[in-house]
Structure 1
Amino acid sequence: MAAQAHARDCEGKPYKRWVLVAVLLLGTFCVVVNHLMIVTALPGIMHDFHIDADTGQWLTSGFLLTNGIMIPVTGMLMHRINSKRLFMAAMLIFLVGTIIAVSAPNFPLLLCGRVVQAAATGMVMPLMQTILLLIFQKHERGLAMGMEGLVLALGRVVGPAIAGWVMDHFNWRILFCLFLPAVLVILRLASKSMRSVVPLDPKRIDLLSLLLSTLGFGALLFGFSSVGHHGWGSRLVIVSLVIGAGCVGLFIWRELTIDNPMLNLKVLRSPLFCLSAIICAVVMIAMFGAELMLPLYIQNVRGQSALFSGLVMVPGAAIMGLMCPLSGIVFEKIGVRKLAITGMGLLTMATIPFVFLTMSTEIGALTTLYAVRLLGVSLVLTPITTAGMNTLPEEWMGDGTAVTNTFRTICGAIGTAVLISVMSDVTKSEMPAKTMFGLDPHLNHVLKTDAVLNGVNAAFLVALGFCIAAWALTFFIKEKPRSDSFDQD
């Protein structure tokens, strides 16, 4: 069925597979660009609302957390709701969130709009991946996942550049206005071209699991995000982390013991799938962290424009866009181990210079190093995700997608919060004392800039540690054909 130009949906009706794929990828592109635009626009938003990096980063980490919480819920909704209706509902929710963000008079309401957008994104991403895995045969999945990677990378090309230009000439509200006509077009196309291709098998949504996951991951994110303001020894931070860890532990225990879990963690019994989920999570931390840190460094430390910071990131995103489909094809020929080792090696080695950024670091070198990092990401992300999914039975594809996306999205959110907290903590500790403010304005400005620079370098040092750990894990990858006797009990 998957190899035919006209496949059949769950109702036996023919449909054009590539038209359906195009609509899915267009919707995915829209939500990805939305997320990445905020990264470049964040310094300007912080200035407009008079907030610091610890508060502003909630637009990113809060978005990722909500996204991550919605992914397993969507995994269950896909088996209860027609996939065409679910996709259109997600795009309508995204439209509502965009309208809230456009009209937000203050930061809390802007964050509210972002949370609504994140809920929609958490529906679109796993739905798109599950459909791609179902309508393409195993030997085609490398190419299919490569197309997904291409869309994600194109979002990284377009998002920062457009956001930079808009921020230099208008304001951040225009960024959200751009999505209003785009979403309406996608809804129109979806009404004509989308089909129900995910088999329905109604499962009860476990509300206790949803509550535990929301409280657990939310408390962890809040705890790590509060470090910059209160320090690691703060009672608020410690209590939040303890509550978060406890709720996450209960959530994992419940998912492993009930009959119809919200998140089927039994997929982690596959060693390669488990390893791929961990490595992908670390890659996300390294990638999201750099995407957030680099604009802060270029705009707040180097004093460059938002457009300039966006353009610095474009070559790397373009290389990632070109390489994601190619890495999917190469994966089919040589396997995952060599690609993963090479990719994580490039990502790790290219992160080292970011630990030693200075006020005179060449922008050309910075652009090149960022491009090398994303080249490494492109060699790891698509192949290792595909290899992990290929070890699972067909009926567990939705579960595998949910676990992979949830794990790496929530880890990306918490990892980003950790990096921002490290940056803020170091910056705060090295900021000149208030008694020095009246002595020499120029000297104080230099000292403040040096404090922010040291904070950025410290955050990249933590990111480097994550990269080294993931690189070490890639050497444990073993090439193994998919086993048809996967233990599901």
Structure 2
Amino acid sequence: MNVSSEAANASIDVSKLKRGPIVAALVIGAFVAILNETLLNIAFPDLMKEFAITPATIQWLSTSYMLVIGILVPVTALLQQWFTTRQMFLTAMILFLIGTVICGAAPIFSVLLVGRVIQALGTGLMLPVMMNTILVIYPPEKRGGAMGMIGLVIMFGPAIGPTLAGLIIDQLDWRWLFFLVIPLAAFSVIFAAVYLRNVSDLTKPRVDLLSIMLSSIGFGGIVYGFSKAGEGSWTAPEVVWTIVVGGIAVLLFIIRQLVAAEPILNLRAFKYPMFALVTVMMLVLMMTLFSTMILLPLFLQTALMMTAFKAGLTLMPGGIINGVMAPISGKLFDKFGPRVLVIPGLILVLIALWLFTGISVQTSTGHVVTLHIILLIGISLVMMPAQTTGLNQLPRHLYPHGTAILNTLQQVAGAIGTALFISIMSSGTKNYYAANPKGDPAEGLVAGLHNAFVIAFWIGCIALIIGFFIKRVQAPQEGEKGLA
């Protein structure tokens, strides 16, 4: 670590800051952004009718969101060293507010898409800033509880989003999905302007435009390629070339970061073994989690013939329990360390995934609710404790880089997981029809789902094996050279 960075660290005394208002400002902003992200999917049928567009076109509202975040998040490590916490967070929330207003007033689909992209810019800036701020203002022994509060917000938004969206669309109009968020976003901007304090270290490193270009092409190409693969064929030229070009750009980006004196994304964080282990485990686990996020609504609405509103209600108990469990698991992590939470959590995830391989068109709603609750209790025991463990091993100057790495790879894992499991499901359904040309469509879907959940189970087993190596670590002193 260089002298200027050490001097910057020393200039910020976080011990005198009031943490409560800072965390409240972060939590309100995160809740607004994540809630809105989960509101829109359920409105896709209404939007297709209003704008007279195809499913492939409407999918861009989700694909563009993931794409922008996948491109932006790797650069946030650099941005957080150039701009203060307040500047970053307020810019993020103002962008999100502007995007929300544009979406709500959009007269045509292209304007709606532009608004969605601006919303994604805000979300992509905000999430790494939020995690980095928690790491800076809390000592390692208290981070579990704080990260648990963040986890509550991150999980609670998706839990109530689909049901709330279904209710709004039934009673009002899709534009109200945005109109109702506008006052919340405005309140978040005002609250953060009053209470949020600067905690970041401004070292203002050299801006490496080539690295930014490689990062954007690389991560953007991979996220886009896998997103398109999930919509159709893996062998389509558009899919193959974007993934290949993206992969080459990421490889060149990695090489450049390892040789650069001031990398925009410091990959030397992987020299810390617990951070490296947790990153790989989270990549695997997020792929598994996305399998259920995508497949379960399909099962509920197509095989069990539920309305979108009822499907949202069915998935709500698991999401709420997951949110409630997040701060509890955070407090338990502070007291007992990660292993007593991560191992049982991963075992619960595997039990749920295996039981999901037995679902059928006769499966009761109560059975699905129970399995979903088991799955999300397991996830809540793993996600925040594991991430906090990995980040705890990093010295302070690597916090922005560690949070950016984790957030970037989760976006990549989401794109890969979605494409992979949709493809497995589609393949299983085709095989069913090959054996049963006049088979029931619901049974065909279930056959494909069985295959997808079996693969998800075996991928989850990889996460469990890694989980046995996760343990509590001592945070390094910033003055130590160590592995930095």
TM-score by length of 2: 0.88
Residue in structure 1 matched with residue 380 of structure 2 by the alignment: 378
Q: Match of 1:176? A: 178
Alpha-carbon contact 2:257-2:267 (below 8 Å) kept = yes
Matched AA of 2:176: I
Secondary structure at the residue paired with 1:172? coil
Matched to 2:406, the amino acid is T
Deviation at 1:452, TM superposition (A): 3.6
- The separation in 2 between residues aligned to 1:207 and 1:368, in whole angstroms, is 50
Query: 1:317/1:10 Cα in 2 relative to 1: closer, same or farther (>3 Å)?
Result: same
Do the aligned residues in 2 keep the contact of 1:69 with 1:214 (CA within 8 Å)? yes
Match of 1:199 in 2: 201
Match of 1:315 in 2: 317
1:438 maps to none
Structure-2 change in CA distance of 1:231 and 1:17 (3 Å): closer
Q: Show structure 2 runs of 5+ residues with no match.
A: 1-9
Residues in 2 aligned to 1:483 and 1:270: alpha-carbon distance in whole angstroms: 10
Q: How does 1:428-443 map to 2 (within 5 A)?
A: none
Shift of 1:56: 5.0
- Please list, as runs of the form range in 1=range in 2, the aligned pairs for 1:285-304 lying within 5 A after superposition: 285-304=287-306
Counterpart-to-counterpart distance in 1, 2:399 and 2:29: 21
Alignment match, 2:105 = 103
Match of 2:90 among 88, 91, 113: 88
AA aligned opposite 1:197: V
User: Retained in 2: the 8 A contact 1:225–1:421?
Assistant: no
Specify which of 457, 460, 463 is matched with residue 464 of structure 1. 457
Aligned partners of 2:456, 2:34: CA distance in 1, in Å?
22
2:189 counterpart (178, 187, 202): 187
CA deviation profile, 1:198-219 (whole Å, cap 9, x unmatched): 1221123322222222222232
Residue 223 (structure 1) shift: 2.9
Residue 407 of structure 2 is matched in structure 1 by 405
* Structure 2 SS opposite 1:303: coil
Q: How does 1:248-263 map to 2 (within 5 A)?
A: 248-263=250-265
SS of alignment partner, residue 394 of structure 2: coil
C-alpha change, 1:415 and 1:204, in structure 2 (3 Å) is farther
Aligned 8 A contact 2:357 2:451 in 1: yes
**Following TM superposition, by how much is the alpha carbon of 1:346 offset from its aligned partner in structure 2, in angstroms?**
0.8
In the superposition, relative to structure 1, how do residues 244 and 57 fare at CA in structure 2: closer, same or farther (>3 Å)? same
Q: Which residue of 1 aligns with 2:482?
A: 487
Structure 2 vs 1, CA of residues 47 and 445 (structure 1 numbering), >3 Å: closer, same or farther? farther
Corresponding residue to 2:274 among 272, 275, 283: 272
Q: Distance in 2 between matches of 1:482 and 1:107?
A: 49
Q: Following superposition of structure 1 onto structure 2, how do residues 136-215 of structure 1 map, counting pairs within 5 Å?
A: 136-215=138-217
CA contact (8 A) 1:278 1:408 kept: no
**Cα separation, 1, equivalents of 2:113 and 2:295:** 20
Show CA shifts across 1:312-337 (max 9, x none).
11111121122111111211222212
Distance 1:109 1:348, change over 3 A: farther
| 1:4-43 Cα deviation digits (max 9, x unpaired) | xxxx994999753211211111001111111222344456
1:344-367 CA-to-partner distances (Å, cap 9, x unmatched) read 111121012323432221111101
Q: Tell me the SS of whatever aligns to 2:330.
A: helix
Q: Is the 8 A contact 1:168 1:305 kept in 2?
A: no
Match of 1:474 among 447, 462, 467: 467
Maintained 8 Å contact 1:9/1:15: no
Equivalent residue in structure 1 for 2:419, among 414, 417, 420 = 417
**How far apart in 1 are the matches of 2:48 and 2:346?**
33
- Distance between the aligned counterparts of 1:108 and 1:286, measured in 2? 33
For the aligned residue pairs, the C-alpha RMSD in angstroms reads: 3.0
- Larger mean Cα displacement after TM superposition, 262-271 or 64-73: 64-73
CA contact (8 A) 1:70 1:119 kept: yes
Could you say if the C-alpha distance between residues 271 and 228 of structure 1 is closer, same or farther in structure 2, counting changes exceeding 3 Å? Answer: closer
The Cα offsets for residues 42-61 of structure 1, whole Å up to 9 and x where unpaired, read as 56556666767666554445
For the residues of structure 1 that align with 2:348 and 2:15, how far apart are their CA atoms? Answer: 46
Is the 8 Å Cα contact of residues 320 and 374 (structure 1) preserved in structure 2? yes
1:281 pairs with 2:283: yes
- TM-score by structure 1 length? 0.87
**d(CA) in 1 for partners of 2:231 and 2:70?**
25
Report the 3-state secondary structure (helix = DSSP H, G, I; strand = E; otherwise coil) of the residue aligned with 1:477: coil
The structure-2 alpha-carbon separation of the partners of 1:55 and 1:293, relative to structure 1 and needing over 3 Å to count, comes to farther
1:221, 1:417 within 8 Å by CA — same for their partners in 2? no
* Unpaired runs of at least 5, structure 1: 1-7, 433-442
Q: How many residues align?
A: 473
Q: How far does residue 284 in structure 1 lie from its aligned partner after superposition?
A: 2.2
Q: Find the counterpart in structure 2 of residue 437 from structure 1.
A: none
Secondary structure, aligned partner of 1:24? helix
Contact map agreement 1:391 1:481 (CA 8 A) in 2: yes
1:66-105 per-residue CA deviation (whole Å, 9 max, x = no partner) reads 2232223222212211221221111111112212322345
Moved more, 422-431 or 131-140: 422-431
Partner deviation per Cα, 1:265-318 (whole Å, 9 max, x = no partner): 110111110111121222222223322322222223322122211111111112
Looking at structure 2, the residues matched to 69 and 341 of structure 1 have their Cα atoms a distance apart, in angstroms, of: 33
Segment drifting more, 104-113 vs 369-378:
104-113
Q: Which residue of 2 aligns with 1:440?
A: none
Paired residue for 2:338?
336
Closer/same/farther in 2, CA of residues 379 and 12 from structure 1, 3 Å limit: closer
> How do 1:214-253 and structure 2 match up within 5 A?
214-227=216-229, 231-253=233-255
